[in-house]
Structure 1
Amino acid sequence: MARRGNEYDSQESLPLLSESITFDGDQGSLGRGSSVFPAVSRLRSNTITSIRSGYEIVREHMDKKKFAYLVLASLFLYLGFVGAFAPRTSLARDFRRIHASRLTDAEIYRIYLNALSAENLAGKHVRNYTSREHRIGDQEALDYTVAQLKELGFEPRLEKYYPWISTPVDSQVTLLEDDEISFVASLREECLEEEHTGCGLSSQPAYHDYSASGNVTASYIFANYGRLEDYKFLLQNGIDIEGKIHVIRYGKILPGLKIKNAELYGSSGVLLYTDPYDDGLITKKNGYKPYPDGPARHDSSIERAAVNFLSDFPGDPTTPGYPSRFPSTERLSPAGKIPTIPSIPISAEEIYPILRKLNGKGAKMNCTGNIEGFEYFTGPSSDNVQLQIFNKQNYSITEITDVIVEIPGIFSEYDILIGNHRDSWTVGGAGSPNSGSAILLEIARGMSALLKHGWKPMRPIKLISWDGGELGMLGSLEYAENHADLLKRNALVYLNLESAITGSQFRCRANPLLENVIRDAAKCTNFKGSDGWTLFNEWDKVSNLTNSPLLGFADYVPFQYHLGIPSASFEFSSNGTGDAVIHWHSRYDSHFWMEKYVDPGYKLHNTLAVMTGMTCLTLCETEPTVFKAYPYLTEIAEWYERLHEKILQLFPEDRELLDLAETIAKHLETIYTEDAALFDAQNLELRELCTRDFAAYEFFKKIKIYIRLMRANNKLKRIDQLFLTRGGLPDRNWMKHSIYAPNKKTGCEVDVLPGLQEAIVEQDREKAFRWLSIFWTQITNLRLLLR
């Protein structure tokens, strides 16, 4: 049995022993109830089950291992196949694929250009904005802007602010002779049938915003442009100016500074008028007919203005440096930021009977003008001839609304802002500011067409319609102060459209960092729709591609001069030889004037909408920021060289000062000739790398390029902000930029290296040394950044 048992143990049928065993013919002798076989069966069953379980565990372990090897091998083969046969892609295309944007740069530009060439709605927008009075806070202009943006598929966001402003109540100008009224100015413009606007729409007498209320009767003088040199002439000629009403012509310096100077020299009130002589060639005196029959100035046009001291303290004078976000915002005294004497604007037609009374009195000014019958004597008027000016203003907190459209980008930073204010002084405002408002809506239409094709820009874009621009950049400045930290961190560029179309000659005013990208955009823009002539060609023809300096009064002021955000402004303005005169801040700046004398088919509007949009698209779709450091540093070096010469002349014996000035000159030359040039070349190379195709297995190269791209963009973003000073300029600490700031005396032009320029003008050695030291620190930091 043992042998048999061993034989059984070796057989595959052995597990059957656990079943019932029977023999033929004797079913009862060895049945299921036998005591031997069940025990043996159980023993063998347990043994074999254990053997099988172990075998299954081993086999399962072996299968998992094989499966893992198989997966790894398959993955390796797949990656090898992909690496060998997958399409080669660039980092630029990868960005778009990750964010499901399939449009190429060429397609983006084509869609935008097609949208604006197929239809031109600028005329519709200009007529809607200018058909009624739309001062600060106007609800109808706001509603129209929002409705147009919503129609394009956008969801505009409204930001409200609450500045303290003046509202005109009444203004009067009366000429008295021997205490009798001899002339009363209407302070209104003639109503013209051609303009198709009711005269009742502009019934308010002319006024200045932020002017002081007052009722003054006094003798008067003529103070020319109201500049410091004009008052110096008056004093040198012994003219009695104290307590007099000063009659001053517009031009040369900002209106607020004219009033400020008049206050300084003891004026009791001011009249401001526009002299047709300052219109250049296009005057009645030169044989041109006045508007509406010709391009010359209409005699009754009145130039309204804000007279707060914008070059020192722009924005709400009661919240300097912080936003007026609520009606209950804490406010400071406006003293020193707005005039304390009344002022009123008046037309050339109505200033004539006043100025002619000065003929032969005082000294003859060394100037020329076109007020017929006036010989430009200073006065003062005779004791029996006096002016009475009455001005009443109510000051209150008013709600204003900025309209903001945000187009998110693949990256969440490096915002590109395009803006223009929509408020005007009266009926009209076609050239200033609503040509820009129309262009802004046209740019939005082009962007809307792109979004409908699945476009997502590389960088975010913001289109903004400001409110309160005419009163001192209120809307843009409040926004900039409210979002200052975010803007300094994220904003890349601000593009401005104020007074976009007022003549036929293209002018670009831009931070030199943007010079090259603007030229590239001009090459892609057909001038007035012509296929054979680009805006670049026109720009080259009329001004040799001149990039003019920014000005001291526009909605880019808070961005460029306060936050260090590179800014640009594009415009078609008067060529000075044949273009019709624009009636600034007058009802005659109308859509009728625009369509008859400036842009009949709104082709210039379309050209500028294309140009601005292409500049924006180039900035937002090019991976490395397309700033160029070389033009910027070259301009700074050229200006510094002029100032260096003046320092040598003023302080020839001051060795410490001269050594510092000479050290700066040497290092500045190295920075722009070597560091800036090399930096630009490296970024150009990086731009090519971002668009170069790589195989999938070369992904590590893209990672290196991406890291390099982030570093380069961060450096380019910081260049202009390196020139911000914590303390700001002397006596106007809101102006933080040490390279650009409005000229302190005029407010119109912009000074380069303003702190140093002011020190040289004042011949102040300590101030000059301080600003040289600041500049030395800044260019040292810049050199480290560029390397």
Structure 2
Amino acid sequence: MSGNAGDDNMESSVHLAVPIPFGGEEQPLLMDGRSAGGVSRHRSNTISSIMSGYEVVKEYFDKKKFVYLLLASLTVYCAFLAAFAPRTSLVRDIRRINSSKITEAEVYRIFLDTMHEHNGAQDHLRNYTHQGHNIGDQNSLEYTVNQFKQMGFEPKLEKYYPWINKPVHTGVTLYRKEEIAFEATMMEDCVQDDPTSCSKDRIQGYHAYSSNGEVRAQYVFCNYGTLPDYLKLLDAGIDIEDKIHIIRIGPISQGLQVRNAELYGASGVITYTDPHDDGTVTAKHGFLTYPEGPARNPSSIKRGSVAFLTDFNGDPTTPGYPSKYPAMERLSPAGKIPTIPSVPMSAKEVAPLLRELNGYGVQIGNAGDVEGFDYSTGPSPDGVEILLQNEQDYQTVEITNVVVEIPGIFQEYDIIIGNHRDSWGVGGAGVSNSGSAILLETARGFSQLLKRGWKPFKPIKLISWDGGSPGMLGSAEHAEEHAQIIKKHSLAYLSLDSAISGTQFHCEMNPLLYEIIRKAAKYTSFKMEDWTLFDEWRSISNLTGEDLSVETDLAPFQYHLGIPSSSCRFQNNGSGDPILASNSNYDTFTWMETQLDPDYKMHNTLAVLTGLTTLMLSEKELISFRTQPYFAKIQTHFGKYHKRLISIFPYDRQLLRLAKTVSDLLQSLETSESQLFDDENALLNSQLIQDYPGWLFYKKISLYIRLLRANSKLKQLDQLFLTKRGLEDRPWMKHSLFAPDTQLGLQETILPSINDALQDYDREKAIEWLVMLLNQFHNVKSLME
């Protein structure tokens, strides 16, 4: 026994010599695996131990208990988070998830600080207007692109090829018998105090989309060329057919003036601006004329478009689709532009023509200020004729829109700010590069926000249009090309056209935007003074939201695509403001700085208002539309139409019953449905900013679903009044509630088809559109439920 034990001990103490590589000493290794130096060599034993442990755990492991333990741990952890995690609102959660670096309050503060620290409007206006920049001009394009790039934006260029005329020669010559009595220069006088008025880029007075031709004929004076004016001429027995019609520019668009003249047999048309229509600021009232004073220079010429812009906007050869290429299929412009020649003239050069009419025919209209003219209609006596010459070069011209996009947290809806940079002839300070300067200033405010880590909640687009003067070419072609995207995603269009032409603040808008703009005005200082734009607006018109002016770049968005639009501006107050000679060679930065806005504070005011309005639309999770003002405005107008329907068709039971049904439904929408809808949205908005503990996460999910649903309803509302076929005889105009007035053309008409039916005493048309409106109002009611 002992021997065996000794043998065992001997075996356990036997050493083996293990060679050590690289020249180290040999270390004896014990048979149990331990080195003689005490270094453990238990790898194999360790693996064996792990495997043995695994087998033991496997044998005794209870999967069910383990799952319960895991769930219990997670529950305890979540309860801990719910109990001690900070309370947050859905709004903050959304912004935190999307890594928004600055709060909404900081966004407004940074923007306002940026706009108040510096005003770059003067530099922008001077750069745009120191030379001619008609449609397609490359200098103004390069300046716009460079300014956006310097701010850190990446502008995109969007090209179209509309069919348009460029002037070659216009002329008006007065003949007495066969001798030339007077020949017009068709150009403003050069005044030394305004270098731009003497520019080499000056062009003669002309009309966009006027017909080529040379006409020699007797002539008549037709006042403003409205339909009532022509009826007066006919009632007085004045021979107006085959005559050249001289028409004073006034409350009717130049396109409708020429169309009316064409309708009543004119062979040609001359338009002019009568100083009398400038109100009290005229030479007859003792004011000096520009550049010495604020009154209109009598040699100013109001150029303009004579396309029928009440019916369509954009290229008349590609109605409804964009003119993307120079060589593409085009339609005849017949019915969209005049077929007789027309030219504009100054009051100074039209005077010799009008004086020849004194004592002939009858006197018509209000007295005017054309020197020596008694406002007789004519026609001119035998042998006294006018030779009217109009030579235009019609061709396709490349135009370029400049588009800047600021991506948002949610890409679903965007806000568009736009203005066209081209102008008539030289200058164009008031119309419309005051708006171009404001557009760039607003962009500067946004660029500073982006540098501070801002990302708007909703995307913003800033667009400089080309070709706005002849007929909203750039904006209309853009709207036609991107129609489906705009209708789906664009929330509002803010126009800056003709932004600064006087000192009195006016704001024209779709009523859905009324509350937003009013709130923005509260935070906008008026001319950087201790007086808000809200206070100024209230003192002028008690915060009235006016009907839109239609010959601007907002028309394709509001009337063709149903995008709520606005145009806030400073315009002539009618009682002392200097007169802007729009579309003339006196609409210059010199006029702006010496007559109207020398320190550019009104430019800054509108830039702040535009930026704040955009931010209030962009930074709010819930779209900030209120529907009650919208339906209140429609109800007010329909109430007037309803009384006229009763007066015109007193015994038509079908029509009156239908009108009563529409009236009752509209009344309900105004007084109950819209109020309830707005109140529900206001409650939702308060809940979006309310803090909830983590364990109420399901409420935030419910709020988010309600938010998406409410935004979808608000976005759709205005577009529910679009009609696929368009208005009668105006298929391009799609909106049944808002459209250009067919008789005057400069302002919009509410419920245009009902208005047209009443003017035409057309029962069938009235019934047809009452049915259409009834269906649309029912659809809106269903949407709001």
What TM-score, normalized to structure 2? Answer: 0.93
What is the match of residue 135 of structure 2?
Answer: 136
CA shift digits 1:321-350 (9 cap, x unpaired): 111111122100011111111111110000
Q: Which amino acid in 1 is paired with 2:344?
A: P
What is the match of residue 552 of structure 2?
Answer: 554
What is the match of residue 722 of structure 1?
Answer: 720
What is the match of residue 169 of structure 2?
Answer: 170
8 Å CA contact retained: 1:671, 1:783 = yes
Q: CA offset at residue 366 of structure 1?
A: 3.3
Partner Cα distance (1:50, 1:450) in 2: 65
Q: CA offset at residue 234 of structure 1?
A: 1.1
**1:664 and 2:691 correspond:** no
Partner Cα distance (1:27, 1:497) in 2: 105
Partner Cα distance (1:190, 1:262) in 2: 29
Partner Cα distance (1:312, 1:479) in 2: 18
Between the aligned residues of both structures, percent identity stands at 54
8 Å CA contact retained: 1:201, 1:427 = no
CA-based RMSD of the aligned residues comes to: 2.1
Does the residue aligned with 1:175 lie in a helix, a strand or coil?
strand
Match of 1:622 among 620, 623, 632: 620
Q: Which amino acid in 2 is paired with 1:600?
A: P
Deviates more, 1:194-203 or 1:744-753: 194-203
What is the match of residue 363 of structure 1?
Answer: 362
CA shift digits 1:586-631 (9 cap, x unpaired): 1111111111111110000000000011000001111111100000
**1:753 and 2:772 correspond:** no
8 Å CA contact retained: 2:132, 2:202 = no
CA shift digits 1:453-494 (9 cap, x unpaired): 111111010000000000100000000000000011001000
Deviates more, 1:145-154 or 1:334-343: 334-343
What is the match of residue 567 of structure 1?
Answer: 565
CA shift digits 1:280-328 (9 cap, x unpaired): 1100011111011110000111110111111012210000111111112
Match of 2:631 among 627, 630, 633: 633
CA shift digits 1:621-647 (9 cap, x unpaired): 111111000000011111111111111
Alpha-carbon spacing, 1:384–1:27, altered in 2? closer, same or farther (3 Å) = closer
Q: CA offset at residue 197 of structure 1?
A: 2.8
What is the match of residue 512 of structure 2?
Answer: 513
What is the match of residue 780 of structure 1?
Answer: 778
Does the residue aligned with 2:343 lie in a helix, a strand or coil?
strand
What is the match of residue 539 of structure 1?
Answer: 537
Q: CA offset at residue 67 of structure 1?
A: 7.0
Q: Which amino acid in 2 is paired with 1:312?
A: D
**1:744 and 2:745 correspond:** no
What is the match of residue 605 of structure 1?
Answer: 603
Q: CA offset at residue 672 of structure 1?
A: 1.1
Q: CA offset at residue 237 of structure 1?
A: 1.1
Partner Cα distance (1:348, 1:670) in 2: 53
Does the residue aligned with 1:388 lie in a helix, a strand or coil?
strand
Deviates more, 1:445-454 or 1:81-90: 81-90
Alpha-carbon spacing, 1:53–1:604, altered in 2? closer, same or farther (3 Å) = closer
What is the match of residue 88 of structure 1?
Answer: 87
User: What aligned pairs does 1:367-766 form with structure 2 within 5 A after superposition?
Assistant: 367-530=366-529, 532-766=530-764
Partner Cα distance (2:54, 2:86) in 1: 46
Alpha-carbon spacing, 1:513–1:186, altered in 2? closer, same or farther (3 Å) = same
Does the residue aligned with 2:537 lie in a helix, a strand or coil?
helix
Q: CA offset at residue 196 of structure 1?
A: 2.5
What is the match of residue 34 of structure 2?
Answer: none
Partner Cα distance (1:289, 1:27) in 2: 131
CA shift digits 1:544-587 (9 cap, x unpaired): 11111012211110111111110000100011101000101011
What is the match of residue 9 of structure 1?
Answer: none
Deviates more, 1:188-197 or 1:603-612: 188-197
Does the residue aligned with 1:202 lie in a helix, a strand or coil?
coil
In structure 2, list runs of 5 or more residues that go unmatched.
Answer: 11-46
Alpha-carbon spacing, 1:605–1:203, altered in 2? closer, same or farther (3 Å) = closer
Partner Cα distance (2:662, 2:79) in 1: 57
Q: CA offset at residue 190 of structure 1?
A: 1.2
Q: CA offset at residue 783 of structure 1?
A: 0.7
**1:113 and 2:112 correspond:** yes
8 Å CA contact retained: 2:165, 2:209 = yes
Partner Cα distance (1:281, 1:611) in 2: 30
Q: Which amino acid in 2 is paired with 1:238?
A: G
8 Å CA contact retained: 2:202, 2:426 = no
Does the residue aligned with 2:200 lie in a helix, a strand or coil?
helix
8 Å CA contact retained: 2:166, 2:393 = yes
What TM-score, normalized to structure 1? Answer: 0.93
Partner Cα distance (2:181, 2:649) in 1: 58
Alpha-carbon spacing, 1:250–1:27, altered in 2? closer, same or farther (3 Å) = closer
Q: Which amino acid in 2 is paired with 1:169?
A: V
Q: Which amino acid in 1 is paired with 2:477?
A: E
CA shift digits 1:720-755 (9 cap, x unpaired): 011111111111111110000011111112111111
What is the match of residue 39 of structure 1?
Answer: none
Q: Which amino acid in 2 is paired with 1:563?
A: L
Q: CA offset at residue 57 of structure 1?
A: 2.3
Tell me the matched-pair count. 749
Alpha-carbon spacing, 1:439–1:52, altered in 2? closer, same or farther (3 Å) = closer
8 Å CA contact retained: 1:221, 1:241 = yes
Q: Which amino acid in 1 is paired with 2:556?
A: P
Partner Cα distance (1:338, 1:400) in 2: 20
CA shift digits 1:64-113 (9 cap, x unpaired): 95876665454333322221111111111111111111211110000000
